[in-house]
Amino acid sequence: MSPQLSTPSKAPFFRDIRTLKWVLQLLALFAVFALLYWLYGNYQENVAKSSIQTDLRFLDNPANFTIPGNDLDQSQPVRDAFVEGFLNTLRVAFIGVVLATILGTLIGIARLSKNFMVRTLGTVYVELVRNLPLLLLLTFMNLAVVLQAFPRIENAWLPLDLFVISNRGIAIPWFIGSPAQLAIGVVSAALIAFVVARVRIRQADKSGKQDRAWLFGIISFLVLVVLIWLLFGYGWELPYVDGRGTTGGLRLDPSFFALVASLVIYTSSHIAEIVRGSILAVSKGQGEAADAIALSGSQKMRLIILPQAFRIAMPALGNQYLNLIKNSSLGATISYFELTQIAQITVGNGSPAVPAFSLTLLVYLAISLVTSLVVNFFNRRLALVER
Amino acid sequence: MKSKSLSVLAVASAAGLFLAGCASTEAETTTPAATETTTTTTTEAAGSLLDSVIAAGSVRCGTRDALPGFAVLNDAGEHVGFDSDFCRVIAAAVLGDATAVEMIDLETADRFTALQSGAIDVLVRNTTWTATRDGSEGANFLQPTFYDGQGMMVTSDSGYMKISEMDGAIICVAKGTTTEGNAALESSRLGLDWEIRSFDETDLILEAFLAGQCDGWSSDVSQLTGLRSAYPDGSESLMILPEVFSKEPLAPAVLDGDTAWAQAVNWAILATIQAEEFGITSANVDSIRDTTEDVGILRFLGADVPGSDGAAVLDPNLSLPTDFAYQVVKQVGNYGEIFARHLTPLGLDRGLNSLWNDGGILYAPPYR
């Protein structure tokens, strides 16, 4: 090393790259805060000039509207309407996530099928749906499918006389009783079914035969639900057309159907790609090992490939779930009474816009963060433990 | 572990932000100091909108584009209708030019936000004057242009003849309107158990109504009349039930706290009513101004009023040109002309919207 290179003269502080980085970052931070402060100041002044509420007092005003398929009275406070909207958002989110995962997984597997027909159908589905804007899909589903392709209530479609399908909604058979009774029945049936499945696994471990735990679990669950119903004297109620509406059973709102269907179709096309990629990412040796111990095709998929694929897919799936939940706000465009629709209605009827929409934003933020926490929890449970 | 603690932190900070927002907004609206800090940035907004409208040379009027009779687009893409003409009345009064209007189409649910944010100068969009809107939306409602009431439209073959027969019906309404509340109230009052669905725009209600998803379409009777006249299956396939179950005074609105602008808009509207009472129309306004000796009319039109010490023009100090009423009537017309131009063809009667001396409730304060 030559001596003149090893001892460079110290640069002045204003040319020191570390100082410059700090100064630039502080300037950027200052600019952001100045902008926010300016906007907030304008908001304050506009609000003061026109006596618009800035707090959450509006939540105690009467709602002055009703929600289809809900008992909310128009004299109940806005607060209650927001809660109902929140629950409707959760309903769509929960059912949407479950159905999109099932459909997406099936299509992801189909895209890897050796059968040309199945594989092509899967590819066409994914490429068609994934490249459409969701709002367009939703509008089409509502205006073209539900409103036009579904029959009018006068000539409603009654498959097996169990369902009533019309453009005023889909009515399905439903039990008679309270939601609490339903929950008790379903939970106890599920617990017993779980025990049955565990017993099957233990027996299979001893005898060396296949356990078929899922099959036994599901069958015993269904049998038990019916049994509990009969034992406790609850009955089923079939829906029927009654004038211009339906009576009995559970009626799903037409816009609920359109929203869930669009969200499931759209999100499943993305999930299918994630599942396909994750299956391909499972080490090839795993499949070969499964072949070597003579597992059947479906056993290989169920027992070896999918469990490892889902471990890889989990973080990406979490993103899709968040997308689905946030996209449910599009329901407001087709008159589904979820959180955004409630916020829009109440703002149109005298609630102040900034606090009402801020509250709505925070609720969505909370839902998304909780979903992230849950996904992260499962991700850590499933993640490959490397030793 | 790191991602978990980050998420927890984010939830906590969101909650904190929310609580802080609730607390601080309440505190700061009561302190005048909050406005002092921003006076430099908004000196222009502190003046009256009247000045900025005159400076800009056009009135930004919040309106709509798909309500037959009140505001629709014609083949040339211009706004035509009762509400559109009142936008022009305001422009004629303030700027002396009825064409100096920028029509801004708004969704029903966005209209007050547009007014509050200053995106529009005045809202003339079938808006009902209610206490809550007056108080909470920062809107200052002026002279109603149309006294309306809510009614119900059904298909002619539905068999409904009265609202009380519509038990368990699905009623479709526009989102963010007084219509929703009135329908809910009427349903509970009559014990009808209506399912009320609300849609963004009338186009969407029309689709649902055509497909048979709704039994009834409830809105202001004037709107229903307009929509019925343009119904794709022909107007005779629909009927409007006789009952009217609410008071809907449709009034223009400006932002609270700007008296000069509010007075200017208000007197522009009142001028159309006063002109009809005087019998002044766009056709005869010139000849009346030149020949009449009625002092009241001369004052109203901003013409020279002969007095003991020479001629003088009345200037009531409304910050409007003294001949604003002349410009309004000359360029747009009086109230009766505007009504006859847009609403009579739909089959609407004057009814409540007649002059006070003709069985209605239109009554302009004296111009003197």
Residue range A40-89, pLDDT digits in tens: 888 888 777 766 777 888 888 888 888 887 888 888 899 999 999 999 99
Query: What is the dihedral sign for C-alpha B160, A336, B208, B184?
Result: positive
Interchain CB contact of B6 with A (< 8 Å): no
B326 touches chain A (CB under 8 A): no
Tell me if A376 and B22 make a contact (CB, 8 A cut-off).
Answer: no
Asked whether residue B4 is assigned to any structural domain, the reply reads no
Tell me which H or E stretch contains A80.
helix A78-110
Q: Which residues of A touch B190 (CB under 8 A)?
A: none
Is B168 within a domain? yes
Please tell me whether residues B257 and B335 are part of one structural domain.
yes
User: CB–CB of A50 and B116 under 8 A?
Assistant: yes
Residue A45, amino acid: E
Residue A229 pLDDT: 73
Is residue B183 within 8 Å of B171, Cβ to Cβ? Answer: yes
Look at A244 and B137 and tell me if their CB atoms are within 8 Å.
no
CA distance A142 to A332: 12
Spatial CB neighbours of B160, under 8 Å, sequence gap ≥ 6: B154, B166, B169, B215, B216, B241
Is A376 within 8 Å of chain B by CB?
Answer: yes
Q: How sure is the predictor about B37, in pLDDT bands with cuts at 50, 70 and 90?
A: very low
Does B30 lie at the interface with A, CB-CB under 8 angstroms? no
Note whether A317 and A274 are within 8 A (CB).
yes
Rounded Cα distance between B115 and B107, Å, is 12
Q: CA B200 → CA A217, A341, B157, B166, B206, distances in Å?
A: 47, 10, 27, 24, 11
Rounded Cα distance, B39 and B25, in Å: 19
Residue A4 is predicted with a pLDDT of: 55
Tell me if B275 is assigned to some domain: yes
Q: Using a CB–CB cutoff of 8 Å, tell me whether A243 touches chain B.
A: yes
Residue B309 sits in which domain range?
A: 48-147+249-368
Quick one: B155 and B242 in the same domain? yes
Q: pTM for this one?
A: 0.77
CB B82 within 8 A of CB B338: yes
- For A142-183, how does the pLDDT look when each residue is reduced to its tens digit (9 = 90+)? 999 988 888 888 888 888 888 888 888 888 888 777 777 778
Same domain, B142 and B267: yes
Instruction: Using the 3D structure, point to which of B221, B246, B271 is the last residue of a domain.
Output: B246
Domain shared by B264 and B309, yes or no: yes
Domain A78-147+254-382: give its CATH architecture.
Answer: Orthogonal Bundle (1.10)
Confidence of residue B40 (pLDDT cuts 50, 70, 90): very low
pLDDT digits (tens, 9 = 90+) for B291-328: 998 989 999 999 888 776 767 888 888 889 999 999 99
Establish if B91 belongs to a structural domain: yes
> Is some CB atom of chain B closer than 8 A to the CB atom of A368?
no
Quote the minimal CA–CA distance from B316 to chain A in Å: 26
Q: Give the closest residue to A328 by CA, choosing from A126, A146, A30, A90.
A: A90
The answer to whether B181 contacts A345, with C-beta atoms less than 8 Å apart, is no
How far apart, in whole angstroms, are the C-alpha atoms of residue B42 and residue A199? 75
What string of pLDDT tens digits covers the 387 residues of chain A?
A: 455 555 566 777 778 888 888 899 999 999 999 999 999 888 888 777 766 777 888 888 888 888 887 888 888 899 999 999 999 999 999 999 999 999 999 999 999 988 999 999 999 999 999 999 999 999 999 999 988 888 888 888 888 888 888 888 888 888 777 777 778 888 888 888 888 888 888 888 887 777 777 788 888 888 887 787 777 766 778 888 877 778 888 888 899 999 999 999 999 999 999 999 999 999 889 989 999 998 888 888 888 898 899 888 988 999 999 999 999 999 999 989 999 999 998 888 778 888 999 999 999 999 999 999 999 998 888 776 665
Pairing relation of β-strands A164-166 and B139-141?
unpaired
DSSP code for A168: T
Q: What is the mean pLDDT of residues B10-20?
A: 48
Q: Do B177 and A48 make contact, defined as CB atoms within 8 angstroms?
A: no
**Can you tell me the distance from the alpha carbon of A180 to that of A168, in angstroms, rounded to the nearest whole number?**
28
B207 contacts A147? CB cut-off 8 A: yes
Q: At what angle do helices A17-50 and B2-29 cross, to 10 degrees?
A: 40
Q: Which residues of chain B make contact with A51, given a CB cutoff of 8 A?
A: 135, 138, 256-257
Domain ranges of chain A: 78-147+254-382, 177-237
| Model-level ipTM above the cut of 0.95 | no
Residues of A in contact with B157 (CB under 8 A): none
Which residues 229-288 on chain B approach chain A with CB closer than 8 angstroms?
255-257
Q: Is A145 on the interface with B (CB under 8 A)?
A: no
Predicted pLDDT at B105: 94
Whether the CB-CB separation of B184 and A74 falls below 8 Å is answered with: yes
Q: Are residues B166 and B270 in the same domain?
A: no
Token pair for residue A233?
């004297």
pLDDT band of residue B43 (cuts 50, 70, 90) is very low
Q: Give the closest-approach CA distance of A174 to chain B in angstroms.
A: 20
Burial class of residue B66, CB neighbours in 10 A (0-12, 13-18, 19+): middle
Secondary structure class of B159 (helix, strand, coil): coil
The confidence score (pLDDT) of residue A270 equals 96
Provide the pLDDT for residue A277: 94
